[in-house]
C-alpha cells in the first residue's frame, strides 16, 4: 500500500472556501490497458472554519403561493452561502410552521401534509322543517364546517352524497348554503334524510358526514275535489222534510284543516240544504212538482285552511221531482141536474 501526501502548490485563500475543499482522488497505473483505482473523496477542512459565520443567500425570503397549493409543492429553497458540509435545515416551531416542511439536507421548503379531516360546526341541526311552498332557490340553512389545515388541505367542499331522491335540494359546494332546487310537494314526499358530506382538498383527501332530516310541512296548495263532475237525483215530489236525498263527497290532499272539507249550497233555495260536514243533501221545505219540477243546485266544497287562502270547488247537483198523484179530485158542478163527475188532474 502506497501513501500519498497532498501539498499546496500555492497558499489557499481560505476566505473563499470557508468550509474547506472536497478533492476527488483516483490512482492509475502505466500499464496497457491502463487500470484505475476506486474513487476516493477527501475533504480538507478549513483551518479557519470555526470563525466563519453562517449566512443565508438572502437576508429575507418572500414567496407567494396559491392557497390551493397541494401538499408537496415547493414553496422556497433556502441556502447558506457558501454552503457548508453536513448542515441541517429546520423551521423553528410556530403555528404557521405546521403548514410547511423543510428538507433538512437541501433546504427545500414544501407545503405540508393534510393533517386534519374537516368537521361540522356545533350549529349543525339534526333536523330542519321546510314548508312545501318554499320557492325554488330559497335558502333553507347554511351549513358550517371547518378544517384547521391550510391551503388545499384546509379547503372544505360541501356535497349531498345521499338522500336527495327527488333532486329537490342543492348545496353550494363552496359556501355550504342548502337551498331548494326543485319544487317540494308534501303530498308526494314529506321526509328526506340527506347525507351531508364535507371534503377537504388535501392529499390524501379527508372527509366527514352527518345526516340531516328535512321535514316538509304542509301548505294549502290543494283544493277539495269532488268525486264526480256533477250529481243528479230523482225524488218524489212528496218526499218529506228532512229526508236525505244524496250525499256528495270531495277530497282534499292537504293536511289537517288545510285538507278538511266543509260543504254548502250556494244556490239560493229554501227547498234543499246540506249537512256541512257529511255532504248529505236533504229536503228542507215542501216540494211541489207543479210549481217547480227540477232544481240545479251549486254545491261548494271548501277547505278549512286557517292561514292564507281557503280553496274550494263547485259542482252542479240536479234534483228532478217525480210526479205523485197529489191533486185531490175536485167536483165541478154540472149544468144539468144529473150530477156528472169529472176528475181534474194536472
Ligand atoms: Ca384537512
Ligand atoms: Ca303539494
Ligand atoms: Ca286544501
Ligand atoms: Ca299541501
Is-same-fold flag (119-217; 225-322)? yes
Residue 283: which of 320, 232, 244 has the closest Cα?
A: 244
Residue 311: which of 188, 227, 229, 220 has the closest Cα?
A: 220
Contact between 33 and 19 (Cβ < 8 Å)? no
Is the model's pTM score more than 0.75?
no
C-alpha cell at 114: 393534510
Task: Write out the residues surrounding ion ligand 2, Cβ under 5 A.
Answer: 132, 185, 187, 221
Contact between 128 and 212 (Cβ < 8 Å)? yes
Domain ranges across the chain = 1-52, 55-112, 119-217, 225-322
Distance in Å, CA 187 to ligand 2 centroid = 5
Q: What is the pLDDT of residue 326?
A: 61
Distance in Å, CA 340 to ligand 4 centroid = 73
Phi-psi region of 237 (alpha: psi -120 to 50; beta: other; left: phi over 0): alpha
Domain 225-322 has CATH 1.10.150.120: no
Contact between 266 and 276 (Cβ < 8 Å)? no
Distance in Å, CA 115 to ligand 1 centroid = 6
Q: What pairing do the DSSP bridges indicate for beta strands 191-200 and 177-180? A: unpaired
CATH of 119-217, one of 1.10.510.10, 2.60.40.60, 1.25.40.10, 1.20.1270.360: 2.60.40.60
Distance in Å, CA 132 to ligand 2 centroid = 6
Distance in Å, CA 187 to ligand 3 centroid = 11
Distance in Å, CA 280 to ligand 3 centroid = 20
Residue 224: which of 181, 257, 253 has the closest Cα?
A: 253
Distance in Å, CA 131 to ligand 4 centroid = 9
Contact between 91 and 103 (Cβ < 8 Å)? no
Distance in Å, CA 93 to ligand 1 centroid = 20
Could you write out the DSSP letters of every residue in 153-194? GG-EEEEEEE--TTS-EEE-TTT-EEEE-S---TTT--EEEE
* Alpha carbons 16 and 181: distance in angstroms, whole number: 71
Q: Residue 77: exposed, middle, or buried by beta-carbon count in 10 A (0-12, 13-18, 19+)? A: middle
The ligand that comes nearest to the alpha carbon of residue 207 is: 1
99 phi and psi, to 5 degrees?
Answer: -85, -5
Distance in Å, CA 205 to ligand 1 centroid = 7
Distance in Å, CA 132 to ligand 4 centroid = 7
Distance in Å, CA 211 to ligand 1 centroid = 21
pLDDT tens-place values along the chain, 346 residues long: 667 788 888 888 877 777 777 788 888 888 888 888 887 878 887 777 566 677 888 888 888 887 767 667 788 888 888 777 778 888 887 767 767 888 888 888 887 778 899 999 999 998 999 999 999 999 999 999 999 987 788 999 999 999 999 999 999 999 999 999 999 999 999 999 999 999 998 878 999 999 999 999 999 999 999 999 999 999 999 999 999 999 999 999 999 999 999 999 999 999 999 999 999 999 999 999 999 999 999 999 999 999 889 999 999 999 999 988 766 666 655 555 444 445 554 4
Distance in Å, CA 125 to ligand 4 centroid = 25
Distance in Å, CA 261 to ligand 3 centroid = 8
The ligand that comes nearest to the alpha carbon of residue 313 is: 3
Amino acid at each position: 500500500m502506497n501513501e500519498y501526501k497532498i501539498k499546496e502548490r500555492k497558499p489557499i485563500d481560505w476566505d473563499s472556501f470557508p468550509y474547506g475543499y472536497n478533492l476527488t482522488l483516483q490512482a492509475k497505473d502505466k500499464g496497457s490497458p491502463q487500470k484505475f483505482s476506486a474513487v476516493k473523496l477527501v475533504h480538507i477542512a478549513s483551518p479557519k472554519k470555526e470563525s466563519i459565520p453562517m449566512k443565508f443567500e438572502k437576508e429575507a425570503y418572500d414567496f407567494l403561493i396559491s392557497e390551493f397549493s397541494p401538499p408537496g409543492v415547493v414553496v422556497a429553497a433556502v441556502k447558506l452561502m457558501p454552503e457548508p458540509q453536513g448542515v441541517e435545515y429546520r423551521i423553528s416551531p410556530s403555528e404557521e410552521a405546521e403548514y410547511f416542511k423543510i428538507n433538512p439536507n437541501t433546504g427545500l421548503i414544501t407545503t405540508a401534509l393534510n393533517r386534519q379531516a374537516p368537521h361540522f360546526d356545533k350549529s349543525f341541526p339534526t333536523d330542519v322543517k321546510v314548508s312545501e311552498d318554499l320557492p325554488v332557490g330559497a335558502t333553507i340553512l347554511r351549513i358550517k364546517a371547518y378544517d384547521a389545515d391550510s391551503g388545499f388541505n384546509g379547503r372544505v367542499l360541501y356535497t349531498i352524497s345521499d338522500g336527495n331522491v327527488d333532486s329537490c335540494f342543492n348545496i353550494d359546494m363552496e359556501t355550504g348554503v342548502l337551498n331548494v332546487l326543485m319544487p317540494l310537494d308534501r303530498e308526494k314526499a314529506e321526509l328526506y334524510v340527506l347525507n351531508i358530506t364535507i371534503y377537504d382538498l388535501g392529499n390524501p383527501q379527508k372527509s366527514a358526514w352527518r345526516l340531516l332530516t328535512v321535514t316538509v310541512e304542509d301548505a294549502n296548495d290543494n283544493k277539495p275535489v269532488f268525486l264526480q263532475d256533477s250529481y243528479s237525483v230523482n225524488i218524489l215530489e212528496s218526499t218529506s222534510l228532512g229526508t236525505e236525498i244524496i250525499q256528495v263527497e270531495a277530497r282534499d290532499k292537504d293536511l289537517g284543516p288545510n285538507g278538511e272539507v266543509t260543504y254548502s249550497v250556494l244556490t239560493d233555495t229554501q227547498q234543499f240544504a246540506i249537512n256541512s260536514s257529511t255532504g248529505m243533501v236533504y229536503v228542507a221545505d215542501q216540494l211541489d212538482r207543479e210549481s217547480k219540477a227540477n232544481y240545479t243546485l251549486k254545491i261548494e266544497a271548501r277547505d278549512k285552511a286557517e292561514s292564507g287562502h281557503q280553496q274550494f270547488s263547485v259542482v252542479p247537483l240536479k234534483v228532478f221531482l217525480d210526479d205523485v198523484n197529489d191533486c185531490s179530485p175536485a167536483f165541478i158542478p154540472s149544468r144539468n141536474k144529473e150530477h156528472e163527475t169529472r176528475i181534474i188532474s194536472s
